[in-house]
Structures are given as C-alpha cells and as structure tokens.
Chains A and B, each alone.
Chain A
Amino acid sequence: MSETSVAEKATSGAEEMTSVAEKTTCGAEKAASAAGKATSGASIELESLTKRYPGNPQPAVDNVNMEIKAGEIVVFVGPSGCGKSTTLKMINRLIEPTGGRIRIDGADVTDMDPVKLRRNVGYAIQASGLFPHMTVAQNIALVPKMIGWPAARIRSRVEEMLDLVGLDPGEFHGRYPRRLSGGQQQRVGVARALAADPPVLLMDEPFGAVDPITREHLQDELIRLQHELHKTIVFVTHDFDEAIKLGDRIAVLRERSHIAQFDTPEAILTNPADDFVSGFVGAGAALKRLNLTRVRDVEITDYPTVTVDDPLQQIFNKLRGSGVGEVLLLDEHGRPYKWLRRGDMMRARGSLARAGTLVHDTVTRDATLRDALEAVLTDNAGRVVVTGRRGEYTGVVDMETLMNSVHELLEADRLDAVEHQQELAETRARQTHGEQEGAGGEKA
C-alpha cells in the first residue's frame, strides 16, 4: 500500500518536472529572442597554480596544471581537505594564488582587479549563499546592478532567470529566502550566479546541503540548463556519483590538489589510473556506469497497447493476439494505466475498472539506466514502461534489453580503454625516441 503511494508521488513528481521543463524551455526561447544569444563558455587554463599558507611548509595546492575547454563541465572530486575547493576559489581569486597563472579565454586574469574578474565569473556555493535580508529578485539583480545595467533590463532579466531555473516569477519574485525550500534556494542561487550572463560558472558543492531527492532534481536541472547555455562550469564535489552524473570530464584530486586522473567519466570508471582513483571510484563501477547512459540510448521494445476508449471486444482480440499474453491499457491521454493479463478480464467479469494491475512506476526517456534497472527490479514482472514528456506511453524496457545494453556498453568501454592505452604508449614511445635523438644531436 505504502509502496504504491510512494510510487504515485514519484510519478506526479516526474510530471511536475516535465511541466517545469516545458515552461522553462519556452522561457529560455523568449529570453533568447529578447536578449539575442546568451554568452557561451570560455576556456580556462591553470598553469602551475600553487597556494602556500604562511607557516606551513607543505603547499595547500601544489602546481596544478589544467586546461578546461569552453562549454564543458569539469568536476573536481576528491576526499575532503584535498584542496579542490581552494583550487576552485583561486579561479575567481577568492583565494589569491601564491604562484602560477590563470587564463580565462586566453586572457591572463592573475593580476587583474579581482572585483572586476568576479563579476564575469558566476559563483554558486553550498546552501545557496542567498542574502536573507533581500528578496529573491533583489538577490538575482545584485550583479547586473553592480555592472550598471539599466533598471528595465534588470527587471526583465530577473524574470527570465527565474523562468530559466523553473520558478514562477510571479510567485517567487518578492519572497525572502527563508520562505523557500532548500531546493528552491539552490535554484535561486544558480539564477543569481548566471544573472549577468558570465561565460564561466564556478560551483562549490552547491548541492551538498539538500536532501538526496532534491539533489537529483537539481542535478537534472543543471544538465538541462547546460544543454541550453553551454557555459564553462567548474564544479566541486566529494560525491563521486554526482561527479559521474554531471561531468563531461572529471578531475580526481588527491592531497594538495595533485591530479590523480583527469578524464571522461567513462574512462575513469573503466580504466582508473591507479589504486587511489579506483579506491575513490569505489565498488560497483559497472553499476555506476549505468548512471552514464540514458534510457533513450538503449533499445526500447514495443508492447501491444489498448486504450480505455477501445471497445471490449477489441481488447479481447488484442489479448488473444499478443504473443506475451498481456497488453498495456492506456488512459484517454495515452498515458500508461494498467497491465492487463489474459485471465484478468474474466475475473473482473468484463469490467475494465476492476481488471488488471495498476502501472505504479514509469521512467522517462531521460532517466538513467540505473533508474530503469531499479524500476525493473521492483516490478513483479520485470519490465517498466517508458514515457515521453507528457507522461505518454513510448515503449517498454525489460530485464533482457537492459542486460544486453549493459554488456554492449562495458565491451565498448573496454575497447576504448585499450585503444586509449595504446595511443598513450605510442606517444610516450615517440617522446622518448625524440628525446634520445635530441640528446644525441646535442652530443654531436
């Protein structure tokens, strides 16, 4: 009983999300047409970035070199105290580096006025960092105001940003942060960071203080936002699963911010560079791999369906005709409603209202394979309905398709990894060769 109600809640939550996503999409379209094209990302280069604190012989961050491409999400992940946050804060110089250079979009920003630099770099932190004495609108308007936008433009920008992060401007505009839930605060925090349309966004464990369910939602939202905006995002977290979900590339950092491995999530999962990384990846790399693939990427099988408006005779025919002895009953909007088996109609004496078992769990095409597997495992017949944006039926995923897809994925990853290693070995060989020749030339 309780299971069903939870599942129902989850479904309605998913519907909410979909409608929010729709709203924001048209908001963003409006925005794009109103303000021209949004600024997309800029590249970031860190060159031997070092931070030493006085009185401490060991540097807190030691000689970090990293190139972050424009428009990608790079996640710094590592144990607490490894200097990932310090490294992030050096990018907008909240912490001044003691050595090394920072270049954003090719321009050296190591010595420019930090206040000016920060107005061009969005910054979102844990627990949102909203100013409690200002309304949501005032919080979002802060940076545009500081860089001197006219009032009318700021006003429309605030609405646009609220729309973008999926909050209704009319409802949330004048609210104070304490009257928002944790997830809503975090959304406003992201809206504030993006308000002046900076090319770079730094996020310091932004979702660390919200409950797991809200965190999942916020992560999904961030992925969607990034699809629209193409900012360069540097994201710090200690949660490896979050890193896998969000990162285009992940930098696994060990103490003093030494980069243990900097690669795509797939590569790190299937081919961790050393024991430290594999320790951090933890057990169950294959399971985590499921987080990287979406339901839309695997084969979705079609199922015989009938709708509640179909005449009973037709339903009987379908039931008899279907090879699996089961059909999916859709409601008037095309959404999955009930599973009908052959005997069900007899037992219910021909009444559709009483026959069959309710569909209590569905996944969207954007859900991860992990979610799908979870749903398949809890379903008593080992399959789950895949729905489209409005919750309408698009297909079914079952255990067999999942297994096949996972095998294919792992095999492909393995091949990639082998190829990657060969490439590395080749370049290394070429380098050594070149050095030897160079050395020989000097001698001669």
Chain B
Amino acid sequence: MDFWEYLGNRHQQLLTDAYYHASAVFQCMVVATVLGVLIGIVTYRSGWAGSLATTATSTVLTIPSLAMIGLLIPVVGLGVPPTVIALTLYGLLPIVRNSIVGLRGVDPALVDAATGIGMSRPARLVRIELPLAWPPILTGIRVSTQMLMGIAAIAAYASGPGLGNVIFRGLASLGSKNAINQVLAGTLGIIVLALLFDAAYVVIGRLTIPRGIRV
C-alpha cells in the first residue's frame, strides 16, 4: 500500500486526530496567552520579578517534554489533564518573555504623557501600553503555537489526543507495511496544521494591530 492509498483509506481517522490535535493546541494557547500576558503585566514593572518570571518559564522549557509528561502521569493521571498542563507550561515562556519585553519597550515618554493627561493606571495599561506592546506579544504567541504543535505529538505517550497517536502507532510497529506511512502522515499533518495556524496569525495580526503602528 503506498502513501496515497493509505491516506485515502484512513482519512477519516486522520482528520479526527488532526482536529483533536489542533483543538488541544488552540485551547492550551488560549490559556497560556491569558496566563502569560497576566504574568507579564504583573511583573514587567519590577526588574527582579520580571527576570524571575522569565527564568522560571525558561526552566520549564528545558525539561524534556517526554520527561515532563511522564512525570505528570502519576500526579494527574492519563489522557487530557497531563497534555493540557504540559502544553500550557511550555507555551508560557515566549509569551511571558515577549509580554515583558513589549511592555517595557513602550516609550517612557508616552507613558509619561498618558499619566500627564490624567489616565489612571488601568486605563493607561489597557489603552496605551497593551496596544503598543501587542505586536511583540503576538509574535510570542505565534512562536509558542509552533512549538506546541510539535510538543503536542508527545502527548500521545500519555494517551492524549492528537496526531501523536498516529506517529506513536507507526513507531511501535516499525517493520510492518503501514509503519512508515503512519509516521509520515502524522508528521506531515502536524506541519500542515502549523502552517495553517501561522496563516491564521497573520490574519489576526492584520485585524488586531492598529494601523498606526503596523510595519
């Protein structure tokens, strides 16, 4: 059976897996974005808190994903919980770092001007600082998503959802006639998903970055 035949026979299963994969990454990204930006907002003003947040999140990133998921299984069990926790933790670093860098990068003169014309702190954050820091934050979100696409495949190790299952099945039955097809289909599927997400971010960027600061 060649690769195309395999795809034709199994497309139903592959599409379902791809859908779960995308959905897992998407939901974890939403959580990671909210958490990451919040951590950024809370810490960007102080030097040590900012570096603490960045160091903590980058430490998380150095843990091998397989080990992380393996360590989570005894604590939270199999399936969705370890997947979501691991993906969210891995997704944090680029978002936290870019939020801090973005918020700190807002021209102090503009912050001064905003305060000077009588904006309260929350108003200044929502109306001036976040919109101006949004392009770097969005870049962080984009990088995170690309990373999570790959890491999500490992989640299959903990019986998580997604295209990782296809890859793992193929790897487990190396030598059988469909093994290579399975690994190939899973990998290509993840690449296609990643590209689709990236395209979506370009659109989101177009829609959400104010025209005055678009490059």
**Do A133 and B210 form a contact, CB below 8 Å, given A116-B118, A146-B119?**
yes
| B109 in contact with A125 (CB, 8 Å) | yes
Compute how far the CA of A115 lies from the CA of B114 in the bound complex, rounded to whole angstroms: 11
- B64 interface residue, CB < 8 Å from A? no
**Do A133 and B113 form a contact, CB below 8 Å, given A115-B120, A119-B118, A146-B118?**
no
**Do A123 and B123 form a contact, CB below 8 Å, given A134-B212, A177-B212?**
no
| A133 in contact with B119 (CB, 8 Å) | no
- A181 interface residue, CB < 8 Å from B? no
| A125 in contact with B213 (CB, 8 Å) | no
Which residues of A sit under 8 angstroms from B213, Cβ to Cβ? 132-133, 178
- A131 interface residue, CB < 8 Å from B? yes
Compute how far the CA of A130 lies from the CA of B211 in the bound complex, rounded to whole angstroms: 15
| A132 in contact with B212 (CB, 8 Å) | yes
Which residues of A sit under 8 angstroms from B119, Cβ to Cβ? 115, 142, 146
Q: Is the interface of B mostly helix, strand, loop or mixed?
A: helix
Compute how far the CA of A143 lies from the CA of B113 in the bound complex, rounded to whole angstroms: 12
Compute how far the CA of A176 lies from the CA of B116 in the bound complex, rounded to whole angstroms: 21
- B110 interface residue, CB < 8 Å from A? yes
| A131 in contact with B110 (CB, 8 Å) | yes
CB distance from A170 to the nearest CB of B (A): 19
Task: Give how many A-B residue pairs fall within 8 Å (CB-CB).
Answer: 64
Best-surrounded residue of A94, A131, A135 (most CB of chain B within 10 A): A131
Per the CB 8 Å criterion, the residue count for chain B at the interface is 19
Q: Which of B115, B132, B211, B212 contacts A118 (CB 8 A)?
A: B115
Which residues of A sit under 8 angstroms from B123, Cβ to Cβ? 146
Q: Which of A117, A126, A176, A202 contacts B109 (CB 8 A)?
A: A126
Which residues of B sit under 8 angstroms from A146, Cβ to Cβ? 118-119, 123
CB distance from B142 to the nearest CB of A (A): 20
CB distance from A204 to the nearest CB of B (A): 9
Q: Is the interface of A mostly helix, strand, loop or mixed?
A: mixed
| B212 in contact with A125 (CB, 8 Å) | no
| B128 in contact with A123 (CB, 8 Å) | no
- B207 interface residue, CB < 8 Å from A? no
| A176 in contact with B211 (CB, 8 Å) | yes
Which residues of A sit under 8 angstroms from B110, Cβ to Cβ? 129, 131-132
Which residues of A sit under 8 angstroms from B118, Cβ to Cβ? 115-120, 143, 146
Which residues of A sit under 8 angstroms from B150, Cβ to Cβ? none
Per the CB 8 Å criterion, the residue count for chain A at the interface is 29
Best-surrounded residue of B115, B119, B210, B212 (most CB of chain A within 10 A): B212
Who on chain B is nearest to A92 by CB?
B116
| A143 in contact with B117 (CB, 8 Å) | yes
Which residues of A sit under 8 angstroms from B120, Cβ to Cβ? 115
Compute how far the CA of A351 lies from the CA of B28 in the bound complex, rounded to whole angstroms: 86
Per-residue interface assignment for chain B, residues 114 to 141, with 1 indicating a CB less than 8 Å from any chain A CB and 0 otherwise: 1111111001000010011000000000
- A192 interface residue, CB < 8 Å from B? yes
- A193 interface residue, CB < 8 Å from B? yes
- A17 interface residue, CB < 8 Å from B? no
Q: Which of A115, A116, A123, A133 contacts B132 (CB 8 A)?
A: A133
| B116 in contact with A94 (CB, 8 Å) | yes
CB distance from B208 to the nearest CB of A (A): 11
Question: Within residues 23 to 77 of chain B, which ones have a CB less than 8 A from any CB in chain A?
Answer: none
CB distance from B183 to the nearest CB of A (A): 46
Who on chain A is nearest to B131 by CB?
A133
| A132 in contact with B132 (CB, 8 Å) | yes
Which residues of B sit under 8 angstroms from A122, Cβ to Cβ? 117
| A133 in contact with B112 (CB, 8 Å) | no
| A123 in contact with B212 (CB, 8 Å) | no
- A223 interface residue, CB < 8 Å from B? no
Given contacts A127-B109, A176-B211, A177-B212, 8 further A-B contacts (CB under 8 A): A94-B112, A115-B118, A118-B117, A129-B112, A131-B113, A132-B213, A142-B117, A146-B118
Using a CB–CB cutoff of 8 Å, the interface residues on chain A facing chain B are: 92, 94, 115-120, 122-123, 125-127, 129-135, 142-143, 146, 176-178, 192-193, 202
- Nearest first, the 8 A-B pairs at minimum CB distance are A129-B113, A176-B212, A119-B118, A118-B118, A123-B116, A133-B210, A133-B212, A133-B131
A-B contact pairs, 12 of them (CB 8 A): A92-B116, A94-B116, A123-B117, A129-B109, A131-B110, A131-B128, A132-B110, A132-B212, A135-B212, A143-B118, A178-B212, A178-B213
